[in-house]
Every structure is written in structure tokens, then in C-alpha cells.
Amino acid sequence: MENKRVAYLVLRVLLAQPLSYWQLLKHIDVDLPTTQKSLKNLLEEGLIDYKDNLFFLTPKGEKTAKLLGISPFSSLICPECQGKTVSLAHHQALLNEFTEIIQGRPQAISEYDQGYVTPVDTVARVLFMYQVGDIEGKEIILLGDDDLTSLALLVSGWPKRVTVLEIDERILAFIERIATIKGWDNIDLIHYDARYPVSDELKGKFDVFLTDPVETIGGLRLFFSRCVEALRGEGCVGYFGLTHLEASRKKWRQIQQDILAMGFTITDIVRNFHTYLLEREDVVKLELRVAKEAPVKVEFPEIDFYTSNLYRIYAVETPQPLVKGKVDWERELYYDEEAYVTCP
């Protein structure tokens, strides 16, 4: 049934202009398997066509769009904040310093499902947290920090203390080096594999968690559970990103059921808050399903097509982890039938 939505969104954007596969994906808030199937249908039905790496509407497609009451799409996203709700205007110095210190950051390893968000988005996330009142004087834990948000937090000077749990030693070493140069002593760096429980000295110690979880149901459940054990209790909050590309709306519902079951309520969902700087050539070379199973032959992405939504959740009672103890998961932690931009 989501096919109908994909068709609707495709018709209205192509009515405005021809677009590459990657550009088109940015306009569709539906999971990739469904989107690919729907594009295939639209091609077969002769509503759209593909030439020189561009999708465009056929005369039949234009007629159908008109019958459906659709006009050429023109985005109304706020040009100032790009739909993030907070403005960076008064914090250019924060952005500049963050951008400067992350020069030389470890390259993302696509095979490990890494890929970080733009520096602007990382800083915007920090500003969003400030706006809502979740940073100043707070003890913050990050489970995974590809994005180096810990450094943006420390540049801001707002948090009381920042703790990073991360499996990639390169990232830990990089953060440590910058923190040493800057003389920041309110950061803790811990080598950590989410399959193991968090250590006792971390339990019940934090006001806020941040994580950018793998997008399988089990993976999310595991990441949230680990974060939850680190929180102090009622009134604590969590932030994370969730895509619609690799998480269908059905999966969203299951994830939301988990969130509520753990004792949280969802207070904010900001659409397309984050854009990821994936290794563009890897997307095609590694034969990720987003490229390999596209209904047309696609080139390397010419834009950053991968986005996610920002969630904030709030514990209305003592939050409870859904997963406890060690787990033995391997690949299934990262990979499910919707993981189309993840290495199989």
C-alpha cells in the first residue's frame, strides 16, 4: 500500500523536474524496498522513464499526475534552518571550531556500517538539545560516536561531563587526542562493544543519552537498553536518529512500542534533521542493495542522499531495559530485510 504514496511523491517531484535516482530518494519518506518496487512498477506502467541517469515523467505520467490533482512540487522547507527548528546564526563560532578540530577525523568504514552526519547537523543537534534544556550542567552518555558529537558538546562548554562508549579504537584515539590538545578533562572514553552490558560504574549515572543505533529491531532494542541502564531514572532523556530509508513505517511502530514499553514518551520527531556523508563510491562498489537492486543502472551518488529523523524521548517513570546481560548476536544485529544501505 505504501506504493501509492511513493507514486504520489514521485509524480509531484518529477512534474517539477527530472531527477537522478539519488535525488529522487531524498523526496520519498518510504523504506527502500518499497520505493524500489514502486519505481519498477511506475517504469513498467509507463508513467516514468529513465535516460542519462535521470528519471522523468512520460506524457502518460503527466496526465496521471493531473488527474490526481498533483502540481509540480516546490519545497517549502525553511531556508534558514533547513527544517531543523533551531538557527545556527548565533553559534557560527561553535560550528567553525568544531569543523576545525575534526579535520583529520578517522574515515568512515562502510563495511562497519559507519557514516557520519554533516558537521552542521552535528552542531544543530547540540543546539536543539540546548534549546530544549538537555545540555547545560548535564552528564551525557554517547553510545557510538562516529559523528564526534562529544567534541561538539565539549566545544559548546555546556555539559558537565561527557562519556563516550565506542567500539572503534580509531574514534576513541582521535577524540582523546583533541581533548588533550584542548585541555578538556570532563570527558571519559571507554572502549565498548554493545553486546556486553555496561559496567556497573556507569549504571544510573547520566541525565541524557545520545545514540545513532543500527536500525534492526533487535539492534535498536539492544542500544536503547544499554543506554537506559546508564540513566539516572525518571525525567531523563534520550536522543537518537532513525531513517525512513532502512526502517519502514511498520518498523517505526514497533520501535515506538519498544520506546513506550521502556517507560518513555516521545516528545519530538524532527523530519530529515540529519544528512549523512556516506562514502559515495562505496555505496555502489560494495553492492549495497540501495544500488544493486535499484530498478535502473545507477552511477555513484552525486549527492548525500541518506537522511535520518531526530527523536527525543523522555522517561516518565524509571526506564527499564528490554535486553539485559550479554548477547551473542552477530550479523543479525546490523542486518535485516530492510537494511539496504548496510553491508550484508
Rounded CA separation 247/32 (Å): 9
CB contact at 8 A, 156 and 93: no
- 160-199 mask for its own copies (x: CB under 8 A)? x---------------------------------------
- Please count the residues of the chain: 344
Nearest residue (CB) to its own copies, 199 versus 265: 265
Residue 96 in contact with its own copies, rule: CB under 8 A? no
Residue 19 in contact with its own copies, rule: CB under 8 A? no
φ, ψ for residue 234, nearest 5 deg: -50, 140
Q: Which of 68, 100, 177, 302 binds its own copies (CB under 8 A)?
A: 68
Rounded CA separation 193/119 (Å): 25
Nearest residue (CB) to its own copies, 1 versus 181: 1
φ, ψ for residue 187, nearest 5 deg: -130, 140
- 251-270 mask for its own copies (x: CB under 8 A)? -xx--xx--x---xxxxxxx
Q: Compute the chain's Rg from CA coordinates.
A: 21
Residue 133 in contact with its own copies, rule: CB under 8 A? yes
Q: Which cell goes with 105?
A: 577525523
Residue 235 in contact with its own copies, rule: CB under 8 A? yes
Give me the least distance between CB of 130 and its own copies, in Å please. Answer: 6
Rounded CA separation 250/253 (Å): 5
Q: Which of 191, 271, 324, 331 binds its own copies (CB under 8 A)?
A: 271
Q: Which of 17, 63, 77, 173 binds its own copies (CB under 8 A)?
A: 77
Distances (CA, A) of 265 to 113, 205, 210, 238, 268: 28, 21, 16, 10, 9
Q: What is the DSSP string of 19-40?
A: B-HHHHHTT--S-HHHHHHHHH
φ, ψ for residue 231, nearest 5 deg: -80, 155
Q: Which of 17, 45, 60, 75 binds its own copies (CB under 8 A)?
A: 75
Q: Which of 85, 99, 114, 118 binds its own copies (CB under 8 A)?
A: 85
Residue 86 in contact with its own copies, rule: CB under 8 A? yes
Q: How many residues bind its own copies, per CB under 8 A?
A: 59
Residues that bind its own copies (CB under 8 A): 1-2, 4-5, 8-9, 12, 29, 68-71, 74-81, 83-87, 89-91, 127, 130-133, 136-137, 158, 160, 233-235, 248-250, 252-253, 256-257, 260, 264-271, 314, 316-317
